[in-house]
């Protein structure tokens, strides 16, 4: 890894999708990944092979898993606004940010996060004057 490469500190740099999946499945299991990420490949007949097939052809899901890897599994601080707009593999991680131990996750915390996201979505929809319909 060259110091001239701005991506050398990104834990996704040079990491194969299969390796990433294996690491997070070994740590958390498919059921907990589904609870946090809500992606069908972790719910319906989950396996590394079927998840790989889905994630390779579905950019939004792959990016969601890669972000989970960076910020939950590797414990890096959340990206700033400019970096957040980029796909996780294209984000520049400052040299002083070092990976940590994987976060301790629970089904209870996953449910709390889902409820928080649902509330924000409802608030956003109501503040936009029915942008998503009048629900």
**For residue 73, which of 112, 19, 123, 127 has the smallest C-alpha distance?**
19
CB 92, CB 10: distance < 8 Å? yes
Residue 35 and residue 88 in one domain: yes
Say whether both 28 and 46 belong to one domain: yes
The Cα 70–Cα 15 span in angstroms is: 12
Flag whether 92 is in a domain. yes
- Is 61 part of any domain? yes
What mean pLDDT is reported for the chain? 90
85 lies in a domain? yes
Domain identity same for 90 and 130: no
Q: Are 11 and 69 in contact (CB under 8 A)?
A: yes
Q: What is the pLDDT of residues 9-46, one digit of tens each?
A: 899 999 999 999 999 999 999 999 999 999 999 999 99
Residue 1 has a pLDDT of 43
Within 10 A of 110 (CB to CB), how many other CB atoms are there? 18
Same domain flag for 110 and 60? no
How far is residue 88 CA from its own chain's centroid? 8
Domain total in the chain: 2
Half-sphere exposure of 76 (CA within 13 A, CB side): 25
- What pLDDT is stored for residue 87 in this prediction? 95
* Structural domain contains residue 32: yes
Question: Using CA of residue 117, residue 107, residue 72, residue 87, what is the dihedral sign?
Answer: negative
- Same domain for 70 and 93, yes or no, is yes
Q: By residue range, what is the domain housing residue 114? A: 106-135
């Amino acid at each position: 890894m060259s110091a001239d490469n701005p991506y050398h500190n990104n834990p996704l740099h040079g990491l194969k999708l299969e390796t990433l999946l294996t690491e997070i499945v070994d740590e958390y299991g498919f059921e907990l990944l589904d609870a946090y990420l809500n992606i069908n490949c972790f719910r319906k007949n989950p396996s590394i092979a079927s998840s790989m097939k889905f994630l390779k052809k579905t950019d939004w899901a792959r990016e969601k898993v890669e972000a989970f890897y960076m910020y939950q599994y590797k414990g890096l601080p959340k990206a700033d606004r400019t970096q957040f707009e980029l796909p996780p593999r294209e984000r520049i991680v400052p040299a002083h940010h070092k990976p940590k131990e994987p976060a301790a996750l629970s089904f209870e915390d996953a449910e709390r996060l889902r409820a928080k996201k649902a509330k924000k979505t409802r608030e956003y929809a109501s503040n936009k004057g029915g942008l998503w319909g009048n629900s």
